[in-house]
């Protein structure tokens, strides 16, 4: 089934992201930590939308995947406008102008009624461009902050993206979509997540509450990692792909809570 949506339908999507995670939504950027958080969330959304597109193509978790894709597109557009308006320098604003153009191309691919497995490689190319510019904007906002906590918000927020990136490449493998880099990128994202989680857990800025949430996130990651392990075996099936989809939503919810806690430090 092709992921086909109209603009009217997108604009009538509920405010909260659907599925296993409902991300906090705010009407504007309040400060630089909030900007880093939202800019980092754009990275995650670039990968989450591709994950949902693949799930729809595979006809797994159809209702959840459709809601995730629709709501993620709405949220990406809204945060893009907020981050562009808040940009404290011409350089940062230029990044978001470029991201706006990249987003239009990606958005068109996500809503193409002719979508098929043969178009996955092109879609991943577009989401990679959106991811790169979103990361650039996040790093620029971190530099504008100039505080150590800004680096932690960036790093923690990137964990959300890695959870979705892992799931995206797993589903690309499961759907046999012909992406030669899928296995290597999946393994790389998994390794980066584990390394960053160790840094976040050891950070002196981490409060007891943050450490507790990081431990909960680590437990969720262990389940997710177990689901991902099936990607190294032959005979990938719909049930395993569904497990990865759901587990990625759970780890996203956990890491979004942690990112929000870091963002509120020294706010």
Per-residue pLDDT 10s for the chain (267 aa) are 444 444 333 333 333 344 445 555 556 888 888 898 899 999 999 999 999 999 999 999 999 999 999 999 999 999 999 999 999 999 999 999 999 999 999 999 999 877 678 899 999 999 999 999 999 999 999 999 888 888 898 999 999 999 999 999 999 999 988 899 999 999 999 999 999 999 999 999 999 999 999 999 999 899 899 888 865 555 557 888 999 999 999 999 999 999 999 888 865
Buried-state track 197-206, b at ≥16 Cβ within 10 A, e below 16: beebeebeeb
At 232 the pLDDT is 52
pLDDT of residue 14: 33
Per-residue burial over 118-152, b = 16 or more CB atoms within 10 Å of its CB, e = otherwise: ebbeebbebbbbbbebbbbbbbbbbbbbebebbbb
Q: Give the Cα separation of 261 and 30 in Å (integer).
A: 15
Rg for the chain (alpha carbons), in Å?
17
- How far apart CA 220 and CA 241 sit, in angstroms, is 17
Report DSSP state, residue 175: T
How high is the pLDDT of residue 96?
97
Output the pLDDT for position 110: 95
pTM of the model as a whole:
0.87
Determine the pLDDT at residue 176. Answer: 86
Instruction: Report pLDDT for 148.
Output: 80
Q: Look at residue 19 in the predicted model and tell me its pLDDT.
A: 44
Residues 60, 238: contact at Cβ < 8 Å? yes
Looking at 87-207, list the stretches that DSSP marks H as alpha helix, in order from N- to C-terminal side. 90-110, 120-145, 148-174, 182-202
Q: What is the rounded CA–CA span in Å between residue 255 and residue 107?
A: 25
**What pLDDT sits at residue 16?**
37
C-alpha closest to that of 110 among 82, 136, 78, 74: 74
45 closest CA partner among 80, 97, 13: 80
Q: Could you tell me the sign of the dihedral formed by the alpha carbons of 30, 32, 38, 42, in that order? A: positive
């Amino acid at each position: 089934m092709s992921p086909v949506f109209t603009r009217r339908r997108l604009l009538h999507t509920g405010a909260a992201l659907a599925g296993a995670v409902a991300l906090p939504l705010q009407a504007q950027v309040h400060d630089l930590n909030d900007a880093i958080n939202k800019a980092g969330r754009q990275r995650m959304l670039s990968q989450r939308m591709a994950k949902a597109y693949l799930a729809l193509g595979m006809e797994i978790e159809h209702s959840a995947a459709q809601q995730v894709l629709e709501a993620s597109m709405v949220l990406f557009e809204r945060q893009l406008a907020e981050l562009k308006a808040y940009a404290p320098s011409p350089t940062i604003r230029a990044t978001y102008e470029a991201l706006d153009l990249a987003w239009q191309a990606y958005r068109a691919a996500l809503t193409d009624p002719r979508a098929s497995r043969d178009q996955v490689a092109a879609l991943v190319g577009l989401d990679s461009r959106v991811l790169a510019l979103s990361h650039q904007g996040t790093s620029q906002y971190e530099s504008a902050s100039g505080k150590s906590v800004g680096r932690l918000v960036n790093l923690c927020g990137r964990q959300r993206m890695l959870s979705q990136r892992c799931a995206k490449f797993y589903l690309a493998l499961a759907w046999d979509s012909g992406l030669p880099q899928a296995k290597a990128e999946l393994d790389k994202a998994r390794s980066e997540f584990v390394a960053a989680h160790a840094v976040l857990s050891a950070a002196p800025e981490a409060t007891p509450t943050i450490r507790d949430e990081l431990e909960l996130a680590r437990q969720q990651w262990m389940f997710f990692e177990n689901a991902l392990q099936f990607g190294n075996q032959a005979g990938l099936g719909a049930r395993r792909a569904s497990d990865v989809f759901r587990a990625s939503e759970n780890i996203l919810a956990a890491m979004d809570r942690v990112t929000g806690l870091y963002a509120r430090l020294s706010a």
